[in-house]
Structure 1
Amino acid sequence: MPFPADRATSLAIFCKVVDNYGDIGICWRLARQLQLEHGVRVTLWVDDLVSFKRICPEIDVELDAQKAAGVTVRHWRDQEGVFAASDVADIVIEFFACDIPPGYIAAMAQRQPQPAWLNLEGLTAEEWVEGCHKLTSPRHGMIKHFFFPGFTGKTGGLLREAGLEERRRQFQADPVAMQAFLAQFGVTAQEMAATKVSLFCYPHAPVAELLASWQGGGEPMLCLVPEGVAFDAVGSFIGADAVAGAVRTLDALTVRVLPFVPQDDYDRLLWACDFNFVRGEDSFVRAQWAGKPFIWHIYPQDENLHHVKLRAFLQRYALDADGVIDSLAGASEYWNGASAAGQGWLGLWPALRADMPRMTARAGAWQRQMLDNGDLAGNLLSFARLPR
């Protein structure tokens, strides 16, 4: 479609929150980047402002419309009203096949020229994605395109804002900045010398077993976990409710409960830790840009389809010039319930710890490989602006 030359491109993103923070996390990063780096006028429709506020504190959950970081945020309440063609953006993105309000779709069909309509799909390393990326689907007299993020040049790439890599390098090269950042959460100078791990996972992860392995392992460990994550297991370790600010040291392990932080601070948390446990899609991608070893807790699906996706990623990531990084592959499968392990975390963590230098080197090589694919926001915008 031709875009007007006399005004900025407009774009609407529709987001329904399924995974509490992953969906809105991705859409918010995308919206901010398109507005800040590309001058696009972005409207973000989101149905759950409470979850949104956890990662963007400036959001007012009582407002139907507001501005945040230059982005127009609309509370999506399954509006069934009538929309005018003038209400429709130049580019319309539905995230992960959410159903756009029928009235908006009707207005899209009446708009001239019709908008570029994209279904932004979930991230997977499976090979079939390359064949489905940019495929068309006729809908309501229009053509919708499927746009897949991914790990190769035949996909849309990963979300990555300009300057991210330089900010990471500067932060990780400055021990004083890292200590000052963690100090705001109560981390002491003595705790800075421990192996620092961030923990973000779904409730069914074997967290109690992991904490027990660290507690009795002999090596000083500091586990930093956001409030509400693994609430029962963390509370059991601490001996009280796992609220922000709670902390306890038992033997070799200190667990600190952190408040939920804005996205930029979560990046710094990943950068400051030696190892990261992440979940879903948004923190999974940010862990890759952090350049540190990590384990991914994938969103569970029926019939264990998520195990297929996990293994597809591990086949790409847990592999270097010397072959498969067995400790990473084994621990990742065990963490996700995809395989058994004789000693559980008592055996898995020491193996991971021994392979930390190898995994760190692999993380750096993977980053360089992903950089070659461009960034998702830029790739998506370039495709949407192509003449139809």
Structure 2
Amino acid sequence: MWITESTTNALTPTAVALGNFDGLHRGHQQVIQPVVKNSEFGSQNSELTAFHSTVVTFNPHPQEFFSGQSRQLLTPLPEKVQQLSSWGIEQLVLLPFNRELAALSPEDFVEQILVQQLQAKTISIGQDFRFGKQRSGTATDLQAIAARFGIPVAILPNYNCEGERISSSAIRQALTEGNVKRAELLLARPYTLQGKVVKGQQLGRTIGFPTANIELPENKFLPRLGVYAVRVLIEGERHDGQGRQGRQGGISNDEFTSCLLPLASGVMNLGYRPTVNGIGLTVEVHLFDWSGDLYGKAIAVQLEEFIRAEKKFASLDELKAQIAADSAKARNLLSPDTTHEKVN
């Protein structure tokens, strides 16, 4: 996938899906689908063959620009690239959100950015999309302005799931509550923490539960602190169908999550490790029935169930007993023979 922050370097002409797209949830998928050609995700629209399927978004997020505060993202850029690429998007244009862009009128934004620079031939947006100076332009405004240039604009209605409007805010709320099944329903996939395995204090191996410490992007939105049942994908590893570990070479960090099946199950602790006087937030995963050197590898942890909140124990023995109980519960939750009621 071609990625550019400069419209002068963009591949043109384009079929554009326009929005912020943090999370790439079910609603975002509805907006993106009309510009994807010849893929399972797309609509098999033969008219798109001459255009580059393009997602146009803003960097930084407009709220981050106006507030001056860093915004935690459901899908930091590497995850966004990987997900869009797996859907068949050919190009990601990251419009630098600065004072000049923020000052453009709705008419100037359409004419200068979409028509002249990106040579958009068709555009897809969500019903709530706002653009232009002081967010004065609406979705119907964009449709009317683009019509002057002969460009059709598809306005996708608010997407609902079980009567609830899907939004990044709703997903954030579910994750804050530890309701990962609700977040998964809204996302149409498990919420995933992805990063590199780094060395920690190596305390886990001394009590019989070795863990992989994961270094996440600083702007990754984190769920409720505590313990989770998880499924894990690991760079360069796969199952061969018989439960044995195999090797698969030539996989980049951005690609491995899109082409591998879950390698292992495990239990993850997200928190400050109060029992051992932890001084910083850590993400630690204990993998079941797996051994190997993970240092330096990319790893993706899919959150399946929230088990319990973070807690300080009186001793390492109590902590060890609790980890054993957490692991047993996680194994049961992740067993293919176990059925769960849907979380509302």
Q: TM-score range by the shorter chain?
A: 0.3 to 0.5
TM-score (norm 1): 0.36
Higher strand share: 2
Higher helix share: 1
TM-score (norm 2): 0.39
